[in-house]
Every structure is written in structure tokens, then in C-alpha cells.
Amino acid sequence: MQLALARQEGSNYVTTMMTIRKLGYGATRAALAVSAFATTGVALAFGDKSVTDLPGGPRANGLDFQPAVTEVADQIKMLHYGMLIVCTAIFVIVFGFMFYSIVKHRKSVGHKAANFHESTAVEIAWTVVPFIIVILMGAFATRTVVAMKDTTGADLTIKATGYQWKWGYDYVKGEGEGLAFISTLDTAQRNLSEEGKPAGNDYLLKVDNPLVVPVNKKVRIITTADDVIHSWSVPAFGVKQDAIPGFVRDTWFLANKVGTYYGMCSELCGKEHAFMPIRVDVLSAADYTAWVDKQKKALAAAADDPKKVWDIAPLEARGEKVYLANCAVCHKPDGKGAGPVKPLDASPVVNDKDPNAQILTVLHGRVPQGMPAWQGKLSETDIAAAITYTKNSWSNHTGQLVQPADVVADEAK
């Protein structure tokens, strides 16, 4: 039976290859392309109807640009349409003349081929006319490119740092100066992806801490990265700027409409590149001021004295919140990890009587293995709380308590 099946498979393979040779590889590729196009059309026609347009983000079955909310995005859109019209006109004129000549001057209706060597007028025309077209296209494009790079006179400056796989935002200058936080994909979104159950219009776009900016204010974004190349991109703003380790780049936007806008890291940055969304909330001036005041009060309340001695219960409770907000994305809420991410449950490092190994790992990270350094991103108290939580959760019952002072001592190492 197996031998018969093998012979049938071999026969099918030979038949397929003979068909390809008869049709020609070009025709075969065309047939495959038509098949793929038809499959895509069926998928679009019978896809999940519950998924609709996301305001400020992707649109269901969308083919055009997202609605622009900045002047630069408007210019990019108009530039695109202008170039498309010019290219289409050139295509129609050139191929129109070509096919007209082929049909009207064919040999079968009695036309004879002309015998000439060159035409100086024609050669000058097909050199000068394209040159003028390219110059005009370049002039319009240059205006937009110069506008995209003009970051002077910003009302607000924010540094966006790319990490695997999250964004760090620091308000460097302007209203909100001194604020800083990490923006990470919502844990529930990651769980939906791993379960193979995508749901909601903001699937893989929901974050815990969105970037917040005021409307009608020029915002300068300084980009850099901590590990590999990332790219900060928000289509509605017409912004895409690479974030490169060891380099500082910048871009800007001025949103003219209140709302929520979405983007993604648009540079392949590792295995969880798809889990690195960007969300920007554009607020009115009054709402933005109220948000800044609220954040500063929360920052002041969260400012801890690293010399404070904690009891294990409150520190562990705080550590659970820190872990779920920052660590559970990779290590999972149950501490089991996944793929190359090592589990924390029953980990020899976590269960070691000497906590310094784990403290140093959290502080300095293990970048080649995808573990970011948390020194400077989390406070000493938050780091101590997260470590204490992992040492006393799941099957880990060490009873160990790591104080903020222990973290401070290891920061100097």
C-alpha cells in the first residue's frame, strides 16, 4: 500500500513538472499569482466581519493612507498622488503611442518600415522633457523632506528609546519635563496571540502606558535604542524614524486633531517584533495639563527612600504589580517563560541563597539573550520588590527578602 502511494506521489510530481514545462515558467508564475490574488479576495470577502476600522489606526480592508492629522502627513499624501498621476500619464502616453504604432503601421496592412538613422529633435525632446519632469518632481519632494527634518522651535521634546520589545519615553523639555515611563504591549493582548484567538479592533495595539501629547503643539521626538535597531512609526502623523543604538536621531509632528493614534515598530527587531506597538493620545491643552499634574503627583507619591526597610508582605504585593507590568510579557504571569526566555519558576538563580546574582542580572540584563537592563528604568524599590516577588511565588518559597539598599549596593558593581 505504501509503495503504491509513493508511486502515485511520484507520478503526480512528474505530471506537475511536465505541465510547468509545457506552460512555461512565466505562465506558471502568472497562474500562481492569479491564484494568490483570488485567495486574498476570498479572505477579504469572507473575513471576520466583527473587525471594523480603528480610529487613528488601521482600517478593515484598507488600501489607502490613514487619515492625516499633521501637515507633513498631508504633504506626503498629496506628493504620493501627484507622483502617481505623473507616472500614470507617462505610462498612458508612452504605451499609447507604442500600441497605436504597432496596430496602425503593421506590415499586414501594407506599411513599410522607414529607413533612417537618427532624429536630433526627437533625441533632444526625450532628454529634455524627462529632465524637466524629474526636476519638478524633485522640487515638490524636497519641500516635504525639508519640512520633515525641521525639528526647530519645538514646544515639547520627548526621547523615545527602543527596547526589545517595548518603548521608553522621557519628557526632556517642555510641559511635563521630568516624566518618564515604559510603554509595553498589554499582557492580555499577548495571551490572545498565543492562544490563537485575535479579538478586538486594537488587537496587538493596546499598551499599558500610551504616549500623551497636547494638540496643536510641535512635538520633537528624539529616537535611540538600547539593544538593536528599532523604528518609531505613526502613519497618521507621517512619521517614521529609526532608533539606532549609540546614535540619536530626531523627527517631529504637530497633531491638529484630538484623538488616539497608533503605530508599530517598523524595523525588524527580533522574535517579538510584532509585539511592539505605539499608541499616542493627543489631548486638548487643558486635558494635557491635568494629565501632567496627575502624573507628577503619582511620581512624587511613588518616590521611595531607598534606605527604607520593608516588610516582606507589602514589598511582595508591590513586586507582583511591577512583575505583571514589566516582566510577565516575556517570563509569563506563571513564571514559566517561553522559548528562549528562561523560566523563573524553580530557577536556580532565583532560588539561590545569595540574591546578588539575580539583582545583577536584573540591573544589567543579558542583552544577547533578550533580557533588557532595568537599571535606570525602574526604581531600586521596584527592582527589589519584583525580585522579592519572584523568590516567593509559584514553587519558589525561599522566604528571602531583598531590600532596596541591596539593589543600591549592587548598582555600583
Average pLDDT over residues 227-235: 95
Quote the cell numbers at residue 370: 533578550
Residue 325 confidence (pLDDT): 87
CA nearest 158: which of 57, 241, 72? 241
Domain ranges of the chain: 71-109+120-149, 156-302, 312-411
Lowest mean pLDDT among 25-39, 231-245, 270-284, 366-380: 25-39
Residue 160 confidence (pLDDT): 97
Residue 50 confidence (pLDDT): 64
Q: Could you give the percent of the chain with pLDDT greater than 70? A: 87
**Please, are residues 325 and 386 in contact by the beta-carbon 8 Å criterion?**
no
Residue 180 confidence (pLDDT): 92
pLDDT band at 31 (very low <50, low <70, confident <90, very high): very low
Give me the residue label for grid cell 519558589. 396
Task: Please tell me the distance from the alpha carbon of residue 187 to that of residue 165, in angstroms, as a whole number.
Answer: 13
Helix (H/G/I), strand (E/B), else coil: 396: coil
Q: Could you give the percent of the chain with pLDDT greater than 90? A: 58
Residue 304 confidence (pLDDT): 77
CA nearest 258: which of 282, 237, 285? 282
Output 7 or 125, whichever has higher pLDDT.
Answer: 125
Judge residue 398's burial from the number of C-beta atoms within 10 Å of its C-beta, 0-12 exposed, 13-18 middle, 19 or more buried. middle
Task: Please tell me the distance from the alpha carbon of residue 90 to that of residue 288, in angstroms, as a whole number.
Answer: 49
Residue 48 confidence (pLDDT): 57
- CATH number for the segment(s) 312-411: 1.10.760.10
CA nearest 363: which of 344, 380, 385? 380
Residue 328 confidence (pLDDT): 87
Q: How does pLDDT run across 165-212, given as a tens digit for each residue?
A: 899 999 999 999 999 999 999 888 888 888 888 888 889 999 999 999
Average pLDDT over residues 145-155: 93
From residue 126, give the alpha-carbon distance in Å to each of 19, 120, 122.
Answer: 44, 10, 6
Task: Please tell me the distance from the alpha carbon of residue 32 to that of residue 171, in angstroms, as a whole number.
Answer: 51
Average pLDDT over residues 242-252: 95
Relative orientation angle of helices 356-364 and 380-391, to the nearest 10 degrees: 130
Output 46 or 100, whichever has higher pLDDT.
Answer: 100
Residue 229 has pLDDT above 70, yes or no: yes
Residue 236 has pLDDT above 60, yes or no: yes
What average pLDDT does the structure give for the chain?
85
Query: How many Cβ atoms from other residues are within 10 Å of residue 181's Cβ?
Result: 18
Q: How does pLDDT run across 314-352, given as a tens digit for each residue?
A: 999 999 999 988 898 889 899 998 777 889 999 999 999
The domain defined by 156-302 carries CATH number 2.10.77.10: no
Residue 42 has pLDDT above 60, yes or no: no
Helix (H/G/I), strand (E/B), else coil: 291: helix
Task: Please provide the DSSP assignment of 329-391 as one string.
Answer: HHH-TTS--BTTBPP-TT-HHHH-S-THHHHHHHHH-BGGGTB---BTTB-HHHHHHHHHHHH
Residue 410 has pLDDT above 60, yes or no: yes
Residue 10 confidence (pLDDT): 43
